[in-house]
Every structure is written in structure tokens, then in C-alpha cells.
């Protein structure tokens, strides 16, 4: 490929300063150049644009000139220290199919970043870009609005996610690949896979999943195109709640490397393969009787209260003389106070006594 040089006077189709261009490959690379904004004079022939390792900080509305990049289909903006993607920032790219925003510390992502009419985007990579919870909620709002209905690949790995917003993927009917690996997901109760009839690959490896509940397993069974599920390196809790997951693993051929899935808790099950677990290992044959548990708790509580009452009575008995003396003192003090109040009442009620009291005071 021919690299077009940079000149002080830009001609149509020429290469912007600090960038490398190949018209034959229809590619422009502006890599590690400390750019603070998208070059305004990008050649119109560009199909693949790499602006990575710079310091863009924000992507404002109209960052890409309207109607100037009609063929731009792959845009890589990874590692640019981007913190904000504003409304309309990616609206003027009619051919955009691939977008990579990985490695940017986003704190603001407008749900209208692609404009009001949506986008033809098919692949979106946000690896390590969703550390801020508000950005995750904004992304969920964008996906639920239907702005990215053509999305077939979504990468959300390396984001430290604990839980996902409810219904986050319900408006993605074309989604084929979903990567949620290397997060901290503790459960999938909020996650709905319904409507993802085209989903072929689901990566849930390297998370903190302890079990997959019946509702989640039923959804996975109902996805006709699903062929690959990654569940490796999760913290599986091998108690009675994992029976359904074990049964599903034994019957499905969708889970990659399922033979290597092992228990993380409790200690007695540590390292045991999930596929080798049976009912006797979990000791779930005897159903838990909740009413009897409650009854036992009430009996124990009654015993504790009775013991406390006995100790209190014993203390009273051992200190009976002191208590009796204390009560006598209280009674004498109360009697003295009452006699004083009675004397003052008689003085106030009898004018003669009042005058006598006044003369005495004089």
C-alpha cells in the first residue's frame, strides 16, 4: 500500500497530519499521536479508520463530518482516554458496521449517540469501558430503545460487572455473539435471554457465578441457535441448589469444557467435578421442614427467656435485704416529701397561718 504524505495544504483525498493513509486499502491510521480531536479532514474514501492511543477525552456531536465519510464501516476508537460520548457523536456514519470503544474510562455515554434514527451497527466492543455504573445504565437504555437492532456481536468483557440491568438484551433480535467474560457477575436473575433467537455464542467464563437457576436454564434451553456456552472459572457452590444445573450439564452439549467445571464451595466439595456430583454428595434427599424449624426456634427462644427470668429472680433473692432497705428508704423519703407538701397546703389554705408565717419570716 502507498502511504500518502502530509502536506501543509490539504487536497481532496489527501492524508491528515499525524496520520497514515492507504487509499488502496481504504484505511487511515492515527495511532499514538496525542490527538485531542478527530481530524476534520479525513479522506472520503476511508473504509477502515483507526484513531487509537490518543487523548480525545470527549466525542462531541458531529465529531465525524456529515456526508463526508459515506463508506466508513469499521471505526476503532480504543484506548483514547475517552470519558464522554455525546448525543449525535456517531450519527453521521451511514455505513458504520463495526465500532470499538474498548479501554476508554467512560463516565458518560448518551443513549442518543447514534442519533434518533438508530444505526446499522453490527459489532460493538466495550471491553473495559463500563467501569462506571451510570454508563452501564445508559448503554442498557440505548439497547432497549432499539437504536442498535442490527447488532450481531456485543462484547462487554473486563468491566467488573456485578449485575446487569433488567431486560438489557430484549431489543437485540439479531444478536449472535454475547461476551460477558471476566466480570464479577454473581447471578443472572435480572437477565432475560428471551427474544435472542439468533444467539449462537454466550461467554460467561471468569465470573463469580455460584449457580444457574431453573429460570435461566429454561431460557438457555429455549434458544434454538445457541451452540457455545462458556462457564469456566466460576465460583460454583455445590449444595442442593446446584442439582438442576448438574442435571442440565449432563444432558447438554452446548457447554464448552464442561468436564473441567469444579466446585468452589463448600470445602468438602472443593475441586469436585460438577459432572460427577450425585444426590448422595449433596444430601438433599430429606426435605427441609420449615414449620418444624420455626417451632424449634420458638422453643429455644422460650428456654432462653426462662433462663433469663430465673437469673433475674435469683439476683433479687440474693439481694433481698438490700432491696428491702432501699425500698424503706424510698418510702421514708416519699413520706417526708408528702408531709412537707401537706404543711405548705395547710398554711396556704388558712389566712391566719399565712399571716403568722409572714410575721415569723419578718
> Does residue 194 lie within any of the structural domains?
yes
Instruction: Kindly write down the DSSP assignment for every residue of 129-169, as one continuous string.
Output: ---SHHHHHHHHHHHHTTTTTT--EEE--SS--S---TTTT
**Is pLDDT of 245 > 60?**
yes
Local confidence band at 72 (pLDDT 50, 70, 90 cut-offs)? very high
The C-alpha atoms of residue 72 and residue 97 are separated, in whole angstroms, by 8
Which distant-in-sequence residues (6+ apart) come within 8 Å of 75 by Cβ?
49, 51, 90, 93, 96, 98, 99, 100
Average of per-residue pLDDT across 136-152? 95
> Does residue 323 lie within any of the structural domains?
no
**Is pLDDT of 41 > 50?**
yes
CATH of the domain at 222: 3.80.10.10
The 3-class secondary structure across 256-293, one letter per residue, is: ECHHHCEEEECHHHCCCEHHHCCHHHHCCCCCCCHHHH
> What is the tens place of the pLDDT at every residue in 207-231?
999 999 999 999 999 999 999 999 9
Residue 72 three-state SS = coil
> Does residue 357 lie within any of the structural domains?
no
Reported as type and span, the H/E element at residue 174 is none
More confident residue, 15 or 347: 15
| Opening angle at CA 348, ends 342 and 349, nearest 5 | 85
Reported as type and span, the H/E element at residue 322 is helix 320-349
> Does residue 77 lie within any of the structural domains?
yes
> Does residue 15 lie within any of the structural domains?
no
β-strand 74-76 against 98-100: which pairing, if any?
A: parallel
Domain span holding position 237: 20-281
> Does residue 342 lie within any of the structural domains?
no
The C-alpha atoms of residue 260 and residue 221 are separated, in whole angstroms, by 21
Domain count, the chain: 1
For residue 5, the model assigns a pLDDT of 38
> Does residue 42 lie within any of the structural domains?
yes
| Mean pLDDT for the chain overall | 87
- Closest C-alpha to 205, from 220, 219, 184: 184
Which distant-in-sequence residues (6+ apart) come within 8 Å of 86 by Cβ?
58, 59, 60, 61, 108, 110, 113
| Opening angle at CA 261, ends 255 and 267, nearest 5 | 155
For residue 8, the model assigns a pLDDT of 35
**Is pLDDT of 135 > 50?**
yes
The C-alpha atoms of residue 123 and residue 125 are separated, in whole angstroms, by 7
> Does residue 299 lie within any of the structural domains?
no
The C-alpha cell that represents 210 in the structure block? 455460584
Angle (deg, nearest 10), helices 320-349 and 351-361: 100
Amino acid at each position: 500500500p502507498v502511504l500518502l504524505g502530509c502536506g501543509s495544504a490539504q487536497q481532496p483525498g489527501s492524508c491528515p497530519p499525524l496520520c497514515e493513509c492507504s487509499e488502496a486499502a481504504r484505511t487511515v491510521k492515527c495511532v499514538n499521536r496525542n490527538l485531542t480531536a478527530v481530524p476534520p479532514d479525513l479522506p472520503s474514501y476511508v473504509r477502515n479508520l483507526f484513531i487509537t492511543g490518543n487523548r480525545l477525552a470527549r466525542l462531541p456531536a458531529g465529531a465525524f463530518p456529515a456526508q463526508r465519510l459515506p463508506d466508513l464501516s469499521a471505526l476503532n476508537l480504543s484506548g483514547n482516554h475517552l470519558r464522554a460520548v455525546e448525543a449525535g457523536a456517531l450519527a453521521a456514519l451511514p455505513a458504520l458496521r463495526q465500532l470499538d470503544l474498548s479501554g476508554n474510562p467512560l463516565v458518560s455515554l448518551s443513549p442518543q449517540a447514534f442519533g434518533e434514527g438508530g444505526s446499522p451497527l453490527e459489532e460493538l466492543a466495550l471491553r473495559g469501558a463500563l467501569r462506571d455504573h451510570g454508563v452501564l445504565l445508559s448503554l442498557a437504555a440505548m439497547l432497549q430503545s432499539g437504536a442498535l437492532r442490527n447488532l450481531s456481536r456485543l462484547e462487554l468483557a473486563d468491566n467488573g460487572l456485578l449485575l446487569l440491568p433488567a431486560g438489557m438484551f430484549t431489543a437485540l433480535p439479531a444478536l449472535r455473539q454475547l461476551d460477558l467474560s471476566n466480570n464479577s457477575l454473581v447471578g443472572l436473575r435480572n437477565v432475560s435471554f428471551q427474544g435472542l433467537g439468533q444467539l449462537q455464542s454466550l461467554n460467561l467464563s471468569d465470573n463469580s457465578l455460584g449457580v444457574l437457576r431453573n429460570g435461566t436454564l429454561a431460557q438457555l434451553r429455549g434458544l434454538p441457535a445457541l451452540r457455545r456456552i462458556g462457564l469456566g472459572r466460576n465460583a460454583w457452590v455445590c449444595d442442593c441448589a446446584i442439582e438442576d444445573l448438574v442435571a442440565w450439564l449432563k444432558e447438554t452439549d452446548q457447554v464448552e469444557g464442561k468436564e473441567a467445571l469444579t466446585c468452589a464451595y463448600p470445602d468438602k466439595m472443593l475441586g469436585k467435578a460438577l459432572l460427577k456430583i450425585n444426590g448422595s454428595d449433596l444430601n438433599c434427599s430429606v426435605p427441609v421442614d420449615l414449620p418444624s424449624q420455626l417451632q424449634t426456634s420458638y422453643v429455644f427462644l422460650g428456654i432462653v427467656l426462662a433462663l433469663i427470668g430465673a437469673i433475674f429472680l435469683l439476683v433479687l433473692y440474693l439481694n433481698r435485704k438490700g432491696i428491702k432497705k432501699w425500698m424503706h428508704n424510698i418510702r421514708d423519703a416519699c413520706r417526708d416529701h408528702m408531709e412537707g407538701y401537706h404543711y405548705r397546703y395547710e398554711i396556704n389554705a388558712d389566712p391566719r397561718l399565712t399571716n403568722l408565717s409572714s410575721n415569723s419570716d419578718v
